C-alpha cells in the first residue's frame, strides 16, 4: 500500500508512521507536513532514512503540492490540523483554512487520482460535552469552539463528498491522546515543561473538567484496523474509557515527578470550556476487534518519564 500521511511531523501522525513502518515493511509512506510550530522533523528522526519513507514540506491547502504527492499514493490519511482550542478562540482563521479548506483540497486530489480511501482523523470534541452517558457515532455533533467546529465541518464535507462524488471516506473520532513527541502546548508536556522550569502549572477553573485518555500507540492500532477493515462511509469512535479530571492528571504528573501540590495554580476558566468528553467505542471493538493494550497507570507514568528524559 502507498499512503500519504498528512501532518506526519506532528504528535499523532509521527507516531502512526513509526507504527506503520514497523508493522508493514513493504508499505510506502509519504509524509506531507507544513512544519508549523507544532510540526517537528526530530519526531521522525529514527525512521527518516527508511527507503520506504519520504518527507515533503507543504500545506494541505496548496493544490499543487497536494496533487504532486497524491498522484503517487493509493490512500490519504489526514492528521494535519490546527488543534489547540485556546489558539482557535483567539484567532479562528488558520483553523478554518487548514481544517476545512485543506480537507477539501485533499479530497479533490483523492477523487482525481481515484484513491482507495480517504481517511479523515477527527476528534471526540466534535460532539461537545456530555454530563452523563457516552456519545455514539450516531450522536448529534455540537462543537463548542472554533477548533471543534472546524473539525465537525470537515467531517460533514467529507460525508458530502462520499454521497455526492462516491469518495471512499472513513472517519475516526478519538479521545485525548497521550504519548511521546507531543508539542508542549497540551496539558501533559506543557505541565512537565513548566515544572522542570521551576514554574507553577495553571489549571483552568477547579480542574474538574473530565477527559477520556488513550495512548497514542493504541490509537495507531485502531487507525490501522479501520484503514484495512473499516467500512466505507462509516465513522468509528476510539476510546479506552479512561476518564480522568484535569486536576487528577495534574496530580499524577506532580506525583510521578516528585513535586508537591503547591505547584498548582488555579486560573480563570477557558471560555466555553467543555465539562466532560465521553464516547462509546463499542462499534470498533465489536466490528473490528480492537481493544486498547496499554494500561493507563503504567502507560501514563512511562510517558511522563519520557518527557522528563527527553525534555524539549
**Which cell goes with 254?**
506532580
pLDDT of res. 312: 52
Round to whole Å and give the CA distance between 258 and 137.
Answer: 40
- Top CATH class of 2-179+214-240+278-293 equals alpha beta
What are residue 158's phi and psi, to 5 degrees? Answer: -65, -45
User: Whole-angstrom Cα distance, residue 235 to residue 233?
Assistant: 7
Q: Is the CB of residue 122 less than 8 Å from the CB of residue 81?
A: no
Distance CA 240, CA 199 (A): 32
Backbone angles phi, psi at 5, to 5 degrees: -100, 115
Nearest to 209 by CA among 251, 247, 265: 247
Q: What are phi and psi of 48, to 5 degrees?
A: -65, -25
Cα(132)–Cα(42) distance, rounded to whole angstroms? 41
The whole-number pLDDT of residue 86 equals 85
Cα–Cα distance between 135 and 280 in angstroms, integer?
Answer: 6
CB 77 within 8 A of CB 6: yes
- The rounded distance, in Å, linking the Cα atoms of 92 and 3 is 30
Q: How far apart are CA 138 and CA 235, in angstroms?
A: 9
Distances (CA, A) of 139 to 48, 135, 276: 40, 6, 15
Give the containing element (helix H, strand E) for 298.
helix 296-309
Q: Which residues are catalytic?
A: 124-125, 147
Give the pLDDT means over successive 10-residue stretches in the chain (312 positions): 98 98 98 95 97 98 98 98 90 95 98 98 98 98 96 98 98 98 94 96 97 98 98 98 98 98 96 96 98 97 96 61
**What H or E segment, with its residue span, contains residue 77?**
strand 75-78
Amino acid at each position: 500500500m502507498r499512503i500519504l500521511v498528512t501532518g506526519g511531523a506532528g504528535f499523532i501522525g509521527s507516531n502512526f508512521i513509526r507504527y506503520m513502518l514497523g508493522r508493514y515493511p513493504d508499505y510506502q509512506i509519504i509524509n506531507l507536513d507544513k512544519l508549523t510550530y507544532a510540526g517537528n522533523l526530530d519526531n521522525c528522526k529514527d525512521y527518516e532514512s527508511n527507503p520506504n519513507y519520504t518527507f515533503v514540506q507543504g500545506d494541505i491547502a496548496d493544490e499543487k503540492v497536494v496533487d504532486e504527492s497524491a498522484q503517487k499514493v493509493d490512500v490519504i490519511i489526514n492528521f494535519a490540523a490546527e488543534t489547540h482550542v485556546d489558539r482557535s478562540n483567539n484567532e479562528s482563521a488558520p483553523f478554518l483554512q487548514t481544517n476545512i479548506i485543506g480537507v477539501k483540497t485533499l479530497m479533490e486530489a483523492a477523487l482525481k487520482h481515484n484513491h482507495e480511501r480517504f481517511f479523515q482523523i477527527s476528534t471526540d470534541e466534535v460532539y461537545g460535552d456530555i454530563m452523563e452517558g457516552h456519545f455514539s457515532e450516531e450522536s448529534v455533533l455540537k462543537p463548542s469552539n472554533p477548533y471543534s467546529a472546524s473539525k465537525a465541518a470537515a467531517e460533514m464535507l467529507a460525508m458530502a463528498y462520499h454521497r455526492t462524488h462516491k469518495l471512499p471516506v472513513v472517519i475516526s473520532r478519538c479521545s485525548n491522546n497521550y504519548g511521546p513527541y507531543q508539542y508542549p502546548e497540551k496539558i501533559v508536556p506543557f505541565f512537565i515543561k513548566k515544572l522542570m522550569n521551576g514554574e507553577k502549572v495553571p489549571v483552568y477553573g477547579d480542574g474538574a473538567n473530565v477527559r477520556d485518555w488513550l495512548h497514542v500507540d493504541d490509537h495507531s492500532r485502531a487507525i490501522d484496523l479501520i484503514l484495512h477493515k473499516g467500512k466505507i462511509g462509516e465513522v468509528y469512535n476510539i476510546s479506552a474509557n479512561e476518564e480522568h479530571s484535569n486536576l487528577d492528571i495534574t496530580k499524577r504528573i506532580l506525583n510521578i515527578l516528585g513535586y508537591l501540590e503547591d505547584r498548582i495554580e488555579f486560573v480563570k476558566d477557558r471560555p466555553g470550556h467543555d465539562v466532560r468528553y465521553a464516547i462509546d467505542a463499542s462499534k470498533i471493538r465489536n466490528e473490528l476487534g480492537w481493544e486498547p493494550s496499554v494500561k493507563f497507570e503504567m502507560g501514563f507514568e512511562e510517558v511522563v518519564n519520557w518527557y522528563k528524559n527527553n525534555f524539549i
